[in-house]
Amino acid sequence: MIKVGEPLPRIKGETQYGPLDLADFRGSKAVVLWTYPKDMTSGCTSEAIDFSQRSADFAALNTELVGLSRDTVESHRDFARASAITPPLLADPDGTLCSSLGVLPEPSSNPKRATFVVDRDGIVRYVFEAVKVPGHAAQVLEVVREMIS
């Protein structure tokens, strides 16, 4: 798994809104990238809703929220519509992006739940592993506040 102090690998692909390249935020925005196992499952839905509900707070800290799973763009569109998910959700059906982050235990598996807090220079400043969904988005927001201040 990517460690604190390392640069975030190149993460780019399609979201429910269109193409997204996290390198575009370097020099201007921090990024919170969360990985999750599967669209439309209870824990993943709760987590995505929590991040969505706090999206204005993250935006006020000049921080972009991005979710990532192995689901397809079409699945992400359905998930976002069904659950009012507002952050972009990157599709990684072949697992390439998840593998580059070190969150894919086996090639045919779903990614582990993890969150990476990345500064404006593209350096990972905090990694949440073994994430417990309740209260996680609020915990990440506090870390971003500390990092920004």
Helix axes 136-148, 42-53, angle to 10 degrees: 40
The DSSP line for the chain is ---TTSBPP--EEEETTEEEEGGGGTTT-EEEEEE-S-TTSHHHHHHHHHHHHTHHHHHHTTEEEEEEESS-HHHHHHHHHHHT--S-EEE-TTSHHHHHHT--SSTTSPPPPEEEEE-TTSBEEEEE-S--STTHHHHHHHHHHHHH-
Catalytic residue list contains 44 = yes
Cβ–Cβ under 8 Å, residues 23 and 13: no
Q: Which of 11, 32, 44, 104 is catalytic?
A: 44
Active-site residue list: 44
